[in-house]
């Protein structure tokens, strides 16, 4: 569980850092830099230990000491704790969020099921010039007030049923074809997945919102670059025409005018050519942010052993403390230990030199998750494996 919480915490750091960079730098950085940061953030939140870096901020956190606890008598039944309840609560929340996204998406697609094909020479010309190899369908629907795109493998562009001016149709199709060319719907699906997995983390929902804005702004920039002359004012008016009537029921579709327009128009009007200094700054910020937040420190054998072994409970008198014999415990590991290794040993040594070495692979797994061992004197020993919620230190 510690690894999962570290993923969520690291993702939060990347989301807040990227949001701050957007606020401070704006168009001084190429929009691709923000999209790359969002991509790294989603990888960090969805893939355990996706990157490794000696500069990770998690390397400075204290590590848990490899310790075991001696208990005599019967093994007490474990009472429910926050650590044991959290997985069940997390799973319920994730399922509810996933069902919410799926219900809204299915409902929106069913509503668009009766969309009619578009027979427009301009639409066919732009589709041919786009160079997209996937089959793209262009349709119209009476309930759609703003152009939108959905689907990854079989993308569909849905336009309003009302007659559109040639300029509006051209800009709308160029914008939606840009979404399809870059598979932006896939980006939004991954962001929705991150929000479902980390539903308890507000930063995951902030990621979903800001990624959507940057995808739209990036498409706006590409549309304007493809047009000859300065069409920023004309394009901004077209966005305003669509804004008030945008369909918002499909959360994973790309909408031409759904993203807050004030930011998009401001970015279009203040756009500038990307300089070499801007590219260098963007590269440094992406690498620095990824190294600081998206990297987990490499763990040594001792910290891995501490994660796998939490306590030893003793039944019987294998090491009779009542006779003044003190038992000391240690966790030893091999050089090639990994998180799934069977080479984690629990050594018990008394003052008279008696040693007992236990290995998980030699025990019998019990219903309560412990491993049962029969010691030389016939008594039984239970070894419990549990997660450690204290961060590990890189040594």
Tell me how far apart the alpha carbons of residues 184 and 211 are, in angstroms, rounded to a whole number.
10
Q: Residue 376 has what pLDDT?
A: 60
How would residue 301 be classed by pLDDT, with cut points 50, 70 and 90? very low
pLDDT for 350 beyond 80: no
Q: Which residue has the higher pLDDT, 141 or 278?
A: 141
Structure tokens at 130: 């786009």
- Domain layout of the chain by residue ranges: 2-60+80-293, 301-384
Mean pLDDT value across residues 366-384? 64
The predicted model scores a pTM of 0.69
Phi first, then psi, for residue 160 (nearest 5°) are: -60, 150
Cβ atoms of 327 and 353 closer than 8 Å: no
Instruction: Quote the DSSP letter at residue 136.
Output: -
Cβ atoms of 192 and 204 closer than 8 Å: no
Cβ atoms of 28 and 278 closer than 8 Å: yes
Mean pLDDT value across residues 265-288? 78
Q: Which residue has the higher pLDDT, 203 or 119?
A: 203
In the chain, alpha helices (H): 2-25, 31-46, 82-111, 121-130, 166-181, 184-197, 202-226, 232-243, 261-269, 276-293, 301-308
Mean pLDDT value across residues 190-195? 96
Phi first, then psi, for residue 365 (nearest 5°) are: -65, 130
Q: Report the chain's terminal Cα–Cα distance, integer Å.
A: 21
- Please state, for a pLDDT cut of 70, what percent of the chain lies above it: 60
For all residues of the chain together, what is the average pLDDT? 72
Mean pLDDT value across residues 57-83? 47
Q: Residue 300 has what pLDDT?
A: 52
Q: Which residue has the higher pLDDT, 71 or 115?
A: 115
Q: Which residue has the higher pLDDT, 324 or 226?
A: 226
Q: Residue 185 has what pLDDT?
A: 92
pLDDT for 180 beyond 90: yes
Neighbours of 327 (CB within 10 A): 18
Q: Residue 110 has what pLDDT?
A: 85
Tell me how far apart the alpha carbons of residues 355 and 49 are, in angstroms, rounded to a whole number.
37
HSE, CB side, 13 Å, CA atoms: give it for residue 130: 24
Phi first, then psi, for residue 173 (nearest 5°) are: -70, -40
pLDDT for 147 beyond 80: yes
pLDDT for 320 beyond 50: no
Q: Residue 68 has what pLDDT?
A: 40
Q: Is 295 helix (H, G, I), strand (E, B) or coil?
A: strand
Question: Minimum mean pLDDT among 26-35, 138-147, 316-325: which range?
Answer: 316-325
């Amino acid at each position: 569980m510690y690894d999962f919480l570290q993923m969520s915490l690291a993702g939060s750091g990347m989301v807040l850092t990227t949001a701050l960079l957007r606020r401070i730098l704006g168009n001084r950085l190429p929009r691709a830099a923000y999209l790359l940061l969002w991509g790294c953030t989603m990888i960090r939140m969805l893939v355990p230990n996706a990157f490794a870096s000696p500069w990770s901020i998690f390397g400075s956190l204290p590590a848990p000491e490899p310790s075991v606890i001696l208990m005599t008598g019967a093994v007490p039944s474990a009472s429910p704790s926050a650590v044991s309840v959290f997985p069940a609560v997390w799973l319920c929340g994730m399922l509810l969020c996933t069902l919410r996204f799926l219900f809204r998406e299915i409902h929106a697609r069913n509503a668009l099921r009766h969309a009619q094909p578009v027979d427009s020479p301009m639409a066919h010309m732009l589709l041919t010039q786009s160079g997209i190899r996937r089959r793209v369908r262009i349709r119209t629907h009476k309930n759609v007030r703003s152009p939108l795109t959905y689907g990854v493998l079989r993308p569909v562009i849905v336009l309003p049923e009302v007659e559109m001016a040639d300029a509006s149709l051209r800009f709308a199709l160029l914008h939606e074809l840009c979404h399809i060319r870059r598979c932006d719907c896939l980006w939004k699906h991954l962001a929705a997945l991150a929000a479902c997995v980390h539903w308890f983390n507000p930063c995951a929902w902030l990621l979903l919102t800001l990624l959507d804005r940057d995808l739209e702004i990036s498409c706006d920039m590409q549309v304007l670059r493809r047009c000859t002359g300065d069409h920023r004012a004309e394009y901004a008016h077209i966005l305003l025409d669509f804004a008030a009537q945008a369909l918002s029921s499909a959360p994973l579709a790309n909408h031409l005018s759904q993203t807050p327009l004030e930011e998009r128009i401001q970015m279009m009007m203040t756009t500038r050519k990307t300089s070499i200094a801007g590219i260098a700054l963007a590269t440094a910020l992406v690498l620095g942010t990824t190294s600081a937040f998206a990297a987990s420190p490499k763990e040594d054998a001792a910290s891995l052993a501490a994660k796998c072994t939490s306590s030893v409970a003793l039944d019987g008198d294998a090491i009779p403390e009542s006779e003044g014999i003190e038992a000391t415990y240690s966790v030893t590991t091999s050089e090639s230990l990994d998180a799934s290794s069977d080479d984690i040993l629990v050594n018990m040594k008394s003052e008279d030199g008696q040693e007992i070495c236990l290995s998980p692979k030699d025990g019998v797994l019990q219903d309560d998750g412990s491993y049962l061992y029969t010691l030389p004197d016939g008594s039984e020993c239970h070894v419990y494996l549990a997660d450690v919620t204290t961060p590990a230190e890189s040594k």
